Amino acid sequence: MKHVQLGKTGPSVSTLGLGCMGMSGMYGPSDRAEGIATIRAALDAGINLIDTGDFYGMGHNEMLISEALKGINCDKAIISVKTGALRDRDGGFNGMDNRPAAMKNFVAYSLQQLGVDYIDIYRPARLDPNVPIEDTIGAIADMIKAGYVRHIGLSEVGADTIRRAAAVHPIVDLQIEYSLISRGIEDAILPACRDLGISVTAYGVLSRPDQRPLAEGRRTEQGRFSRPQPALPTRERRPEPCTRRSTAPDRRCQGRLGGADRHCLGGSAGC
């Protein structure tokens, strides 16, 4: 499996990543055993980027990953976590909370549920319109200094937000939809990532079954066409026991590391 570096300062990751959202009922019924088997098969195939969100199954996904990686060399996995989305008891989305205090609270839950003492890549899942991106990135930068996070990523944001975020702290990658059909990022977002040395972690690279002709959609501010999707939080655009290596020689993990989505990794110059 080919590996590339995320951004200028990020980790080396496989060019295919494993998105675990569908393993926690986000797309319908899911099977625990199949999810665990899929994660382990991906690692055996050389895929080391495991993508999750603390709101996938409201913690279920992180605990599933923890179980799947139990007893496996933890250094084989690079865990990327999205955060900030608020959900209700019925699984609906109630917006975003990217306040600094919320970020620090959410990371504590993720560390516990994944069973690790740091997260490789941490990112807000969407833009919170009530919180300046500088405040959110600054809070995650504080968590890097504290040793809880290694790198910062972004998800589903526009070119201006990317530049503002990168002015606060290096950003290693942007998660966003990109395919032969969904190419809106080529107008402004992809050039911004190239200028700043930020990798693009694309999803939906083979398009998706609900993709409709562009003429049926509505062009967004960032240049792509929107279409009805399962409800998600506010966004700028819609295009989704072991030891673990640590920089501190005496640090150890807390005891565990923790239908899949496929992610394609572009280099720091873009896909």
φ, ψ for residue 146, nearest 5 deg: -80, -10
DSSP characters over 45-92 = TT--EEEEETTGGGGHHHHHHHHHTTTS-GGG-EEEEEE-EEE-TTS-
Is 56 one of the annotated active-site residues of the chain? Answer: yes
**CA torsion 136→264→79→239, rounded to 10°?**
40
CB 39 within 8 A of CB 33: no
Say if strands 78-83 and 16-19 run parallel, antiparallel, or are unpaired: unpaired
Are 23 and 65 a contacting pair, CB within 8 Å?
no
CA distance 134 to 39: 34
Q: Which residue has the tokens 């909370």?
A: 97
Of the candidates 27, 56, 109, 203, the residue annotated as catalytic is: 56
Q: Write out the catalytic residue numbers.
A: 56
